[in-house]
Amino acid sequence: MAEIEQPQIYLITPPEFDPEIFSPRLAAVLERVDVACVRLGLATRDEDRIARTADACREVTHARDVALVIDSHIMMAERMGLDGVHLLDGPRSVRAARKALGEDAIVGAFCGTSRHDGIGAGEAGADYVSFGPVGTTALGDGAQAQRDLFAWWSEVIELPVVAEGALDEAAIASLAPVSDFLAFGEEIWREDDAAAALERMIEVMRAAVAKA
């Protein structure tokens, strides 16, 4: 029986933040924890604010050899020298993003709870898919991505899968053995010491993988 690998860590920024305050917080986390990718998940549509924020975060991530992708804005990813884009519409924009950004860029696709959309995103050329939310949240329509989806995906599909959205300790313990990445956002940023919060979650993850 193959040994289960520990998921890599994927970070999502808060939807709104002051880059001067957030940049040192992000740097502190990256200094203490091995992170594979950071995603700019900004709520604003203001181009100048997005650009300033992307600049600040890119300085932090690239200095530590961590990839930085941005939600949705394909052209901003190219213009700001980011590593790629995270698409929020499943498979629909994957081919366009790949064409615009080239083969070396990271193109990820959020596919909600839909196995069908995940498969479509992979066929269109996505580098990874994400499913969520995996925990309880008042946002959206209440649908949750269940463990069965991740277990099936990890067994049948080679494309990496990310678990995201309201990851509490129970969800981490359940999903760590069947996910390639666990994505943490507000779960850590709402804490005073985000790095310590993430380290606690990683301990839960390691214990779950060791038991699996």
Residues 84-110: pLDDT tens digits?
999 999 999 999 999 999 999 999 999
Q: Calculate the alpha carbon distances from 34 to 81, 83, 147, 166, 195 in Å.
A: 22, 18, 25, 21, 11
Q: Specify the pairing of strand 37-40 against strand 106-110.
A: unpaired
Q: Which helix (H) or strand (E) segment is 19 a member of? A: helix 19-32
Q: What is the 3-state secondary structure (H, E, C) of 94-143?
A: HHHHHHHHCCCCEEEEECCCCHHHHHHHHHHCCCEEEECCCCCCCCCCCC
> Does residue 182 have a pLDDT over 60?
yes
Residues above pLDDT 70, as percent of the chain: 98
What's residue 138's pLDDT?
66
Cα separation, 85 vs 5, in Å, equals 25
Q: What angle do CA 32, 36, 39 make, to 5 degrees?
A: 100
> Does residue 2 have a pLDDT over 60?
no
Domains along the sequence of the chain with CATH? 8-211 (3.20.20.70)
What's residue 172's pLDDT?
97
> Does residue 168 have a pLDDT over 50?
yes
Q: pTM for the whole thing?
A: 0.96
Residues 124-153: pLDDT tens digits?
999 999 999 998 876 667 789 999 999 999
What's residue 132's pLDDT?
97
Query: What is the pLDDT confidence band of residue 1, given thresholds at 50, 70 and 90?
Result: very low
Residues 26-79: pLDDT tens digits?
999 999 999 999 999 999 999 999 999 999 999 999 999 999 999 999 999 999
